[in-house]
Amino acid sequence: MYCIKCGVGLEATEKKCPLCNTEVCHPDFMQPSAEPLYPSGRLPKSGSGKMAFNGAVIILFFIPLLICFFADISISGRLEWFGYVAGALAVAYVSFALPLWFKNPNPVIFVPCSFASAALYLMYINLATQGDWFLSFALPVTAVICLITSTVVTLLHYLRRGRLYILGGAFMALGTAMLLIEFLIGLTFKIGFIGWSVYPLVVLALFGGLLIFLALNPTAREILERKLFF
């Protein structure tokens, strides 16, 4: 087959002339199909695209920040509630956008970073509202949940097996943490122990126990998989 415009011979792989971009056509016969010289649509990941995307994310975070800044100034005449918005956006950025800057973000590092930023934000709210609940309630609760989550993430990241054991243990630990949360609420806000934490403890412990049972029993795991697959 030849290009009808420039006259160059065309391989069977060509749908357009590579020189003048003219569609390959002939009224009498079709261009036979052939294996292309290179696969189509398979492109390497672009580093500059990542930079542009991360830049766009920063702008997306800045737009509400600026709007709130000017709104707070114009409504209150001073910065009254802007700090809460800025803090919340900072926590969201550290948790969701910051890891995107790294090629292989390690969750073992970024999960504790997220909790640390959340703890700082809670401390700011505590100071801004002149509360006295940060040290006795918010900090220990954040620390305990951070510990459980970080442990789970670390184990899942570095161990290839035993995921059901890890998740089962995590649910049980979370249930136990509920007791601690109720205790700290009682201590900080002077509320007596009414025992609501027993309910999530029982549910989470049962669920954790179920996962460990499934981890121990391959037959039960297979039956459950057969029934619940989607």
Partner 1 sequence: MPKKALSPLRWVRLDNAAKIYPAARRKNWSNVFRQSVTLFENVDTNILKSALDITVKRFPSIAARLRKGAFWYYLQQVEQAPDIREEYSYPLTYMSKEETRNCAFRVIVFGSRIAVEFFHSLTDGTGALIFLKNLVAEYLEQKYNIEIPLENGILDRTAPPSEEELEDCFPKNAGPVAYSRKDTDAWHMYGEPQRDGFLNLTCFKIPVKEALALAHKYDSTLTVFISAVMMKALANLQNEKNPNIRRQKRIKLLIPVNLRQLFESRTLRNFAMYVVPEMDTRLGEYSLEEICSLIKHKMGAEITKKHMSSVIATNVNDEQNPVLRLVPLPIKNMVMKAVFNSVGERKSCLTLSNIGQVKVPDIMAKYIKRFDFILGVQAAAPYNCGMLSFGDTVYMNFIRNTKKAELERHFFAVLQGLGLSATVESNRNER
Of these, 8, 25, 191, 198, which contacts partner 1 (CB under 8 A)?
Answer: 8
Residue 22 interacting with partner 1 (CB under 8 A): no
Give me the least distance between CB of 66 and partner 1, in Å please: 30
Residue 7 interacting with partner 1 (CB under 8 A): yes
Pairwise CA distance, residues 143 & 16, whole Å:
63
Q: Which of these segments, 41-49, 80-88, 138-146, 215-223, binds partner 1 (CB under 8 A)?
A: 41-49
Residue 31 interacting with partner 1 (CB under 8 A): no
Nearest to residue 13, comparing CAs of 29, 31, 36? 36
Of these, 27, 29, 32, 35, which contacts partner 1 (CB under 8 A)?
Answer: 35
Nearest to residue 142, comparing CAs of 165, 111, 168? 111
> 141-174 burial by CB neighbour count: b if 16+ within 10 A, else e?
bbebbbebbbbbbbbbeeeeeeebbbbbbbbbbb
Give me the least distance between CB of 19 and partner 1, in Å please: 5
Residue 43 interacting with partner 1 (CB under 8 A): yes
Give me the least distance between CB of 145 and partner 1, in Å please: 36
Pairwise CA distance, residues 173 & 162, whole Å:
17
Maximum alpha-carbon separation in the chain: 92
End-to-end CA distance of the chain: 50
Give me the least distance between CB of 161 and partner 1, in Å please: 24
Residue 9 interacting with partner 1 (CB under 8 A): yes
Copy the structure tokens of residue 229: 């697959």
Quick check: 79 and 68 in contact, CB under 8 A?
Answer: no
Residue 11 interacting with partner 1 (CB under 8 A): yes
Q: Which of these segments, 14-22, 127-135, 146-154, 170-178, binds partner 1 (CB under 8 A)?
A: 14-22
Q: Interface with partner 1 by CB under 8 A: which residues?
A: 6-11, 13-21, 35-44, 46-48
